[in-house]
């Protein structure tokens, strides 16, 4: 089990609308949210929390480009330098014939690169046990968590009451 050595105070909501309003309210009250947990991607939560758009797709472009270059330069080197052979009277460097494999390797590199990057930056991997605040957040509950050392306890508790949290709990993770 991974450890963060944090005291966490968290509230449980039963609906994503309440969650969104609560997150917006926390922003306006300058309460620093540690994390939000939900059973599915809640539309508009990124903007409400101020999560920047992921740069995964930029990374994907770079990986894809690596695939393009690997395939195209690799085939070009093999057919013009390493072992030139004439196939069916075609030129040594048949660029149109390289397009399918170049395309496939672009997709292959981009997809694998992005997926591996995704799991790595999220700290998700087979065998990893990440601490969970409440098991119901993968079912039907939504959770907002604060770091107890970062926010005042009374502020947070009144925030949870005002925004309609069903339960408020603490946990050290």
DSSP assignment letter at 137: G
Q: Which helix (H) or strand (E) holds 8?
A: strand 7-13
In the shown chain, the binding pattern of residues 94 to 113 toward other proteins, with x for contact by CB under 8 A and - for none, equals: x--xx-xx-xxx-xx-xxx-
Q: Which helix (H) or strand (E) holds 36?
A: strand 33-37
Residues 126-165 that bind other proteins (CB under 8 A): 126-132, 135-140
Residue 65, interface with other proteins (CB under 8 A)?
no
Residue 66, interface with other proteins (CB under 8 A)?
no
State in angstroms the smallest separation of the CB of 83 from other proteins. 6
Print the SS3 string covering 55-119: CHHHHHHHHHHHHHHHHHHHHHHHHHHHCCCCCCCCCCCCHHHHHHHHHHHHHHHHHHHHHHHHH
> Which CB atom, from 133 or from 151, has the smaller least distance to other proteins?
133
Residue 93, interface with other proteins (CB under 8 A)?
no
Return the residue of 4, 29, 44, 121 that touches other proteins, per CB under 8 A: 121
Residue 53, interface with other proteins (CB under 8 A)?
yes
The DSSP bridge partners found for residue 8 are 147, 171
Residue 125, interface with other proteins (CB under 8 A)?
yes
Query: Counting Cβ atoms within 10 Å, is residue 23 exposed (0-12), middle (13-18) or buried (19+)?
Result: buried
**Can you read off the two tokens belonging to residue 55?**
């740069």
Residues of this chain that bind other proteins (CB under 8 A): 2, 14-15, 17, 35-43, 45-46, 49, 51, 53-54, 56-57, 60, 74-75, 78-79, 82-83, 85, 87-88, 90, 94, 97-98, 100-101, 103-105, 107-108, 110-112, 114-115, 118-119, 121-132, 135-140
């Amino acid at each position: 089990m991974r450890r963060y050595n944090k005291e966490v105070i968290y509230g449980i909501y039963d609906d994503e609308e309440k969650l969104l309003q609560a997150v917006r309210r926390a922003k306006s009250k300058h309460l620093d949210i540690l994390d939000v947990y939900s059973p599915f991607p809640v539309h508009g939560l990124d903007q409400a929390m101020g999560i920047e758009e992921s740069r995964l797709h930029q990374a994907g472009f770079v990986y894809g480009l690596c695939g393009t270059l690997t395939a195209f330069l690799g085939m070009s080197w093999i057919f013009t330098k390493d072992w030139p052979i004439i196939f069916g009277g075609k030129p040594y460097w048949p660029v149109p014939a390289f397009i399918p494999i170049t395309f496939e390797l672009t997709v292959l590199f981009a997809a694998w690169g992005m997926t591996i990057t995704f799991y790595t930056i999220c700290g998700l991997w087979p065998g990893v046990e990440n601490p969970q605040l409440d098991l119901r957040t993968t079912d039907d509950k939504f959770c907002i968590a604060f770091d107890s050392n970062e926010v005042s306890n009374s502020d947070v508790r009144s925030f949870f009451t005002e925004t309609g949290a069903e339960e408020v709990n603490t946990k050290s993770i």
